[in-house]
Structure 1
Amino acid sequence: MSAATGLSESASTVPVPTSTLIDRAVAALVDARSDHGDVLTRAAWQGVADAGLVGLTVPSAYGGAGLDPAAAVEVLVAVARDFDDSGWLFGAGAHLLACAMPLALHGSAALKERYLPAMCDGRLAAGNAMTEAAAGSDVAGLSTTATPAGPEYVLTGTKTFVTNGPVADVFVVYAQTDADAGFLGNTAFVVEREVPGVTVGPAHDKVGMESVLACAVTFDGVRVPADRVIGAPGQGNLIFQESMWWERTIMPALLVGRMDAVVRHCTAFARSREQFGRPVVAFQAVSHRLARMEIARRVAEQYVLHAATSLVADSHGRGTTASAAKYAATEAAVAVGEAGMEVLGGAGYLRGNPAEALLRAALGARAYSGTNDVQLEIVARGMGA
């Protein structure tokens, strides 16, 4: 199945009231965090599934909400505005966009039936295993190999920065199957955590989004049945590229929602905080900073919405618009987080306020889904530059 075919098939939706999804999602996330603590543990994962976020764009036939990308963006912006932990939302997004969607778009009927319903209802948590210590954005440089052995492949290598890795039940793994085939030399697999040879490492200690766990995962001679290949052998890079279009388009919605929350928080603070006998919002230095924050948020939102529409409507430009949206939203989030800390003054430097949390999350967002330098290169190529 080609990437273009997969996208067009995914566009079928069912009428799901987004307001219902939003209200349910926020309530379920708040309850899960209250019951299980701040970290998105495996025990807490069911709460994310109950929120409906892990299957937003998966077809309803497999237990998802069947939303198109634009509707999914609408839901995630609103949820992120009202739920203040970017880590939980990022974990849900990584599961959906980098794991469930490749299966929904390219998996065989048997793979879809085996995994997607459980990935949508919380029985399975998933982690994407692509990045390696020496091969981040260089998808042609994978050292992880999958060697054919009769009806199986033997998978060997180590992946790092596997979001949800410590809690994942299954992994979407990319490995080299033909060293001489270049771009067509990698293949995507579904690998279950409990098979012999899979070792999940300790969680990375991150600067931001501490609540979502990520780690290295090692595959040491893991035997993977050939029917666990996603798509066909050699299509791994095409499938991964398409999953990045989805991730770069929809994941920034989380930052847009958090930016909105930061702007609102800082505006309310500036109205209530008095200096020299008047609210600080009356000083142009503060009011103009708030205005720039709001403009940056609105511009980022428009980029993301445009990319969401292009994801299914523009067969040629969706990769470029996805990269532009990812770049615009992450850079805006860094700027809004930093400006928000300045508006809050000393209080902005205290851990726990929404501005500093956004800034730490946004710094990481510059790197995930391909660094922002890579996004600029993609946009430049799309321009013919």
Structure 2
Amino acid sequence: MTEPTSPLQIGDYRRFWLARFMAVFATMSMVVLLGYQLYEVAREDYGMGVAEASFQLGLLGLVQFIPLFLLTPVAGLAADRFDRRHVAAFANGIDACVAAVLALATWQDALTIPILFTLAAMHGAARIFVGPAMSAIAPNIVPPPLLPRAIALSSIAWQVASVAGPAVGGVIYAGTMWLPHAISAALLAGSMLMILTVRPIKAVHEGARLKPLKQIVEGLIYVWRERFLLGCITLDLFAVLLAGATALLPVFARDILFVGPEGLGLMRAAPALGAASVALILSFRPLEREVGVKMLWAVAGFGALTIAFAFSRSFALSLAILAAMGAVDMVSVFIRSSLVQLFTPDDRRGRVSAISGLAVSASNELGEMQSGLAAAILGTTGAVVFGGAGAIFVTLVWAWYFPELRRARSFEPAELKREVST
């Protein structure tokens, strides 16, 4: 039988790709509009000013992070002990219920801040189980030489859906507010069914007989002891935590650029458009040399562009800067995801993916909280400038403290391990 030369030649991978696309399209539309609805409800129904309503957006990030923090070890363990398809499908089913309730509450004009916070927390709990399970599936259905390309193609699914979801959702919301949430519920249900069509996957690892708590602790200790993994994961955590401008996009859309929900959808889509363009290039011409240094430069560039976005008062220029932010972030994400997956043994991949997912979620949700709090103190522009400068500072510190990151030159597993241990 001829060996595949592309992940798309593998039927299981095609179904995995489609399931990922449908889920991301749905959740991105739902989450972006949820943030806009929270800001709108806070301003209109509760009579809050810009600073107070911005702080509510920060709290929204916090209520999503709490279940993520509490359930991450359990999610990683589930991805290592059970059929990863079932874990991902169950989580998508929970998210579908969240979207359906949000559609109903919007239709009935019954939204309140407590309801929105509750639904956001449920979404955060569901998402943490999706991430580790889906990340750990790809290495099991494609051969190792195709894994970097499979990750790039998977990123395309994520980024294209991230472009289309908010943009389409924003346009539909402007006409019929409940409809985009109903569409999200249907797509999440479809993703749940699609992932179940992938062949059964059961992780085989040497810790199978260990008690669950011991396995969780083992995964945390493994990441802590492996400086290379720790550096990769925490770089993203702290850099994006500080440069979390996306949390304040509803403020820019409503009260600074005056472009409404349609403009917000385009603003949330712009980074994903830039990222999808880079992911498409990387799927055909993946990076091969000096990958660690390129990852560090990409994170620093993300911080610099965040500062530029803070001062823009042109909608077109803001969209261009956001697209550039997505492009450089995609370079960082592609390199970091590939390095983490290739460096980690399969028996620990679910737990390490969960910890990595926690870092990504913390950088997003806690970044939203940091942005909301900073905006209440420094103003919207000052908060975004502070975050961008912080991301640049973190990159400089990590380049010095984790020299293993600078030494990573390739994606070849054996060569990578020699490079970072030198």
Report the TM range for the smaller structure's normalisation.
Answer: 0.3 to 0.5
1 or 2 for the larger relative contact order (CA 8 Å, sep ≥6)?
A: 2
Between structures 1 and 2, the one with greater helix share: 2
Q: TM-score, normalised by structure 1?
A: 0.33
